[in-house]
Chains A and B, each alone.
Chain A
Amino acid sequence: MISFIILMSIVICFSAVLALALNFQWGSGGMVNFGLAGFYALGAYACALLMLKGGFNTFFATLGAMAIVAVACGLVAIVTLRVTEEDYFAIVTLGVGEMLRLVALNEDWLTKGALGLSGIERPFNDWVAPTSYSYVMLGFCALMVAATVWFLNKLARSPFGRVVRAVREDDVVAATLGKHVLWARIRIFAIGGALIGLAGSLHAFYYQYIDPTQFSNIVIAYAFMAVIAGGRGAYLGTILGASIVMVLLEGSRFAKDLIPSLSSDQLAAIRIIIIGVGLIALLIYRPQGFLREYRLQANLSGSKQQSP
């Protein structure tokens, strides 16, 4: 049981990083990303291939995957938003995401297609005994979640964070106030992309084996649910949201113990039903999510600061 909880915590951690990336792109920046599963796959494959074919170590493979997904996301934003309205952006991300998944499935020479890539190396593997490795992996993943939240919270409190939220609220006003909206959106999507690359790398490290079925589009629904549950723009809430989604998903395995007559097909369906019912209940009882987005609370009574 302990080992199950540890493994599940690891899954929660890299799911949380993925949901945090979405929370930045969509929650804070208002950019819908329906290609999340595809970019997630790109991150995982990029990390795995950099190690398996490029001979990089885990650290540089992770950095490389982050850079590759960031550039891919940035390019999608540039190409789409230059020529079209933001409304079509969601559809383009959906198409690009599906395209990335199909590349993984069909380009056998690179990705081994449906067979998937195996033998992916793990960080710190040489330094610890295999029996205690899952603790190290959990610590590493938890550290990555903490670093991501710290980074995003720091951005949210910065002038850049104001621009991000302003672009979401009203892009025309942001432009009128002198902000370069297209450039802001490209950066929002690329920074989110880097985090998706990080999540994909952690995914690859954890499973040590990746294939295209791991990145089906249902992942997008889970991520959106985690963000909505935690609160749009509230990064700590996303960790909570991701935990709830994953506990519901994985916890439903135990339904078989309670109701032995369930077939495995029924069980698989029940997991999806639980997620759906959970989302509806959430939208009825707490549509704004558990936590709130950061808002500047200045000291109003303090003396006037002298401008230099």
Chain B
Amino acid sequence: MLTVKDVAKSFGGFRALNGCGLEVRPGTITGIIGPNGAGKSTLFNIIGGLFPPDQGVVELEGRSIAGVRPDKLAGLGLVRTFQISRELGELTVLENMLLAGQGQSGEQAWANFLRWGLVREQEARTLAKARALLERVDLWHLANDPARNLSGGQKKLLEISRALMLDPKIILLDEPTAGVSPLMSRALTKAISTLRDDGITFAIIEHDMDMIAEICNPIYVLAEGRTLTSGSFAEVTANEDVMKAYLGKVAA
């Protein structure tokens, strides 16, 4: 579904990615792990269209998406979340959700004055969808609060729910459990695997090995901008190179 081949990216003299590749098959939760500075977030930023790769192939369902703008990617069914939650703080929780609705005529300023019937009808539909998603993660009672008031875990839930408003085919999650309580982390893990069963494909950057072991397969290991190896959790952890990458060459 998502194919990345030989992607390279430099920032000035620093090579953040150097021949990185992975393959996300439909219906999987593909884990991406690696030490800090391995280039995981840079890879997500390239797939997500924040900047184009210097070289290499990025394809979504066989179609090149290298350098395609994020808003176009959203239309193609690819959404991402961010390592540090990026809720729209001044908007309410519900407004964050409604914003993510696609194909809203009311986003044209004039339509609100000339086709208000259509806008109102769409708004009711978007609201019903947002409500169903918020009730699922127990955030509906906070729907009228500014999103900035949510706890760390609730912000993560909001981000995933907001991504679901787009009816995506694939969601890229950048460290969904970072800064989240263990209890909330369990809930997130469960939510993600349920969504996978509903047919949504995931690629996840994560440091929480319990979560990786439980739901991710296959797992790609990145180090120094390269794909080191891939495979199931057992295969990857048995690999000596992986231990070296994580613990440093001295320890090995």
Which A residues contact B (CB, under 8 angstroms)? 154-155, 158-160, 162-163, 165-166, 168-170, 172-181, 187, 191, 293, 295-298, 300, 304-308
Select A160's contact among B82, B112, B125, B132, beta carbons within 8 Å.
B112
User: Smallest distance from the beta carbon of A150 to chain B beta carbons, Å?
Assistant: 11
A173 with B108, Cβ < 8 A, contacts A159-B98, A298-B144, A300-B141 known: no
Q: Are A295 and B146 in contact (CB under 8 A)?
A: yes
Give 14 A-B pairs besides A159-B122, A168-B90, A300-B144 with Cβ atoms closer than 8 angstroms.
Answer: A155-B112, A159-B112, A159-B123, A162-B99, A163-B99, A165-B90, A175-B49, A176-B70, A177-B100, A296-B144, A304-B128, A304-B132, A307-B128, A307-B129
- Please name the 3 residue pairs, one residue from A and one from B, whose CB atoms are nearest each other, closest first: A178-B74, A159-B106, A175-B70
Interface flags, B101-130, vs A, CB<8A=1, else 0: 110111111011100000101111101110
Instruction: Determine the chain B residues whose CB is within 8 A of the CB of A160 once the complex forms.
Output: 106-109, 111-112
Instruction: Determine the chain A residues whose CB is within 8 A of the CB of B112 once the complex forms.
Output: 154-155, 158-160
Interface flags, B63-78, vs A, CB<8A=1, else 0: 0000001110011000
Q: Are B92 and A176 in contact (CB under 8 A)?
A: no
Q: Are B143 and A298 in contact (CB under 8 A)?
A: yes
Q: Are A305 and B88 in contact (CB under 8 A)?
A: no
A158 with B124, Cβ < 8 A, contacts A166-B91, A176-B74 known: no
A165 with B70, Cβ < 8 A, contacts A158-B119, A159-B107 known: no
Q: Are A298 and B123 in contact (CB under 8 A)?
A: no
User: Smallest distance from the beta carbon of B173 to chain A beta carbons, Å?
Assistant: 13
Query: Is B233 engaged at the interface, CB distance under 8 Å to the other chain?
Result: no
Instruction: Determine the chain B residues whose CB is within 8 A of the CB of A175 once the complex forms.
Output: 49, 69-71, 74
Q: Are B71 and A179 in contact (CB under 8 A)?
A: yes
State the total of A-B contacts with C-beta under 8 angstroms.
120
Instruction: Determine the chain A residues whose CB is within 8 A of the CB of B9 once the complex forms.
Output: none
Instruction: Determine the chain A residues whose CB is within 8 A of the CB of B216 once the complex forms.
Output: none
Bound CA–CA A187/B107 (angstroms): 11
Instruction: Determine the chain B residues whose CB is within 8 A of the CB of A176 once the complex forms.
Output: 48, 70-71, 74, 79-80
Q: Are A177 and B79 in contact (CB under 8 A)?
A: yes
Q: Which of B91, B121, B124, B141: most chain A Cβ within 10 A?
A: B91
Q: Which of B36-55 contact A (CB under 8 A)?
A: 48-50
Select B86's contact among A159, A172, A180, A305, beta carbons within 8 Å.
A172
A-B contact pairs, 15 of them (CB 8 A): A159-B101, A159-B104, A160-B109, A165-B91, A166-B99, A175-B49, A175-B74, A177-B71, A177-B79, A177-B99, A293-B90, A298-B94, A298-B144, A304-B128, A307-B125
Instruction: Determine the chain B residues whose CB is within 8 A of the CB of A181 once the complex forms.
Output: 71
Closest to A154 in B: B112
User: Number of residues in B with C-beta < 8 Å to the partner?
Assistant: 52
Instruction: Determine the chain B residues whose CB is within 8 A of the CB of A163 once the complex forms.
Output: 99, 107
Instruction: Determine the chain A residues whose CB is within 8 A of the CB of B207 once the complex forms.
Output: none
Bound CA–CA A182/B156 (angstroms): 27
Closest to B127 in A: A305
Closest to B113 in A: A154
User: Smallest distance from the beta carbon of A83 to chain B beta carbons, Å?
Assistant: 16
Q: Which of B112-169 contact A (CB under 8 A)?
A: 112-113, 119, 121-125, 127-129, 131-132, 140-141, 143-144, 146, 162, 165-166
Instruction: Determine the chain A residues whose CB is within 8 A of the CB of B107 once the complex forms.
Output: 159-160, 163, 179
Instruction: Determine the chain A residues whose CB is within 8 A of the CB of B146 once the complex forms.
Output: 295
Instruction: Determine the chain A residues whose CB is within 8 A of the CB of B166 once the complex forms.
Output: 177-178
Instruction: Determine the chain A residues whose CB is within 8 A of the CB of B99 once the complex forms.
Output: 159, 162-163, 166, 174, 177, 179
Query: Is B179 engaged at the interface, CB distance under 8 Å to the other chain?
Result: no
Bound CA–CA A154/B112 (angstroms): 8
Q: Are B94 and A162 in contact (CB under 8 A)?
A: no
Bound CA–CA A207/B194 (angstroms): 68
Q: Which of B98, B99, B112, B141: most chain A Cβ within 10 A?
A: B99
Select B128's contact among A162, A178, A300, A306, beta carbons within 8 Å.
A306
A178 with B90, Cβ < 8 A, contacts A160-B112, A172-B70 known: no
